[in-house]
Chains A and B, each alone.
Chain A
Amino acid sequence: MFKAVSTHPSAEPKDIRWFYDQYAPMLLGYINGILQDHQKSEDHLVVILTSFIKDVVILQEKSKLNIWLELRQYAQSKLTLFTAKDHQLKPNPSLNKGRLDLLDDLQKRIFCAIYYHGKSISYLAATIGCDESEIRNQLKLSIDKMRRKSGN
């Protein structure tokens, strides 16, 4: 599909629609988690999806990640202005939390800092004041909790 969208001179509207239906709502939820502003998130959604379809998908064959993870990382890299600055490491209360409610405060803090802001394990260990293995452990526990909710 990606190849069809990216390398075809007149990107197939059908494929763009498929891609949009599949990923736009997820991406908007993700961007909104970073920007915490619905209007801005919608504007960024258009820009990020357009450039992803036009540029990044060309590299898809070489990519080791699946499409969503690739798209999420791409969006994160496009929003470095918002993710790079020191944020308070607290999840936004207006966020569409989904399964985040299953997590305790520390797990929510760690998960959101990594998922939305791409913070490293070492940064979190230094900021929160615990060792890196504990951060890794909490990250795994939080993902496991949310996966169990969906029956995995």
Chain B
Amino acid sequence: MEINKIIESGLMETYVMGIATEEEVKQVLSLKKEYPAFKEALEQLEYDMEVLAQSMSIEPPADTLSKIEHEINEIQRRNQAIQPTFEPGYRHEKSEQESKHEKYIQVESESNQMRVNKAWKWVFIAVFVLGKVFLASAIYFYLENRQAQEQIKELKMEIKQKIR
């Protein structure tokens, strides 16, 4: 079977050793997607390379972990002090960012602007129009009411005069 030939060709070994060319890497990745047998063989090889490394491992001195933790804490403390804004997705812009950092000092500040979804525009327009309609109605009914009150007063006066 063709896939077995590819598995035996040494392509996987070149890949896991990190010396595969770009074309070979592409080939490995597409074979991995297409053929479960290839994927399984590759994962087994990766695991075996780990086992191989374990067989050649050397136990580090006892204080190594505390040194690493100390280093990491130091870096975090430094990072928190300058509040970095790097995002992983923007790593390619790192050099540009670094040059900006050299020119400017970072300060903490809060924006007084807020972002609103464009859909709210129609809601605001509707609220504005309804507001105008209510205002006009209120004025109309106020005037109507005042006129009615005056008419009532006049009628009362007429009735009183007739009674006398």
**Chain A residues with a Cβ under 8 A of chain B:** 9-11, 13, 16-17, 20, 24-26, 28-30, 32-33, 38, 41-42, 45-46, 49-50, 53-54, 58-59, 64-66, 68-69, 72-73, 76, 95-100, 114-115, 118-121, 136-137, 139-140, 143, 146-147, 150, 152
B75 on the A face (CB < 8 A): yes
Secondary structure class of chain A's binding surface, majority of residues: helix
Contact A26 B46 (CB under 8 A): no
The answer to whether the Cβ of B125 comes within 8 Å of any Cβ in the partner chain is no
Residue among B13, B43, B52, B72 making CB contact with A16, cutoff 8 Å: B72
Q: Which of A96, A99, A114, A143 makes the CB contact (< 8 A) with B58?
A: A96
6 smallest beta-carbon distances between A and B, as pairs: A25-B57, A98-B55, A98-B56, A140-B10, A29-B57, A26-B53
B48 touches A147 (CB 8 A): yes
Are A29 and B71 interface neighbours, CB within 8 A?
A: no
Q: Are B52 and A146 in contact (CB under 8 A)?
A: yes
Q: Is the CB of A45 within 8 A of B64?
A: yes
CB distance from A28 to the nearest CB of B (A): 5
Q: Determine chain B's interface SS by DSSP, over half rule.
A: helix
* A11 nearest in chain B by CB position: B72
A150 and B59 within 8 A (CB): no
Partner of A143 from B13, B65, B88 at Cβ < 8 Å: B13
Tell which of B16, B43, B71, B88 touches A50, judged by Cβ atoms closer than 8 Å. B71
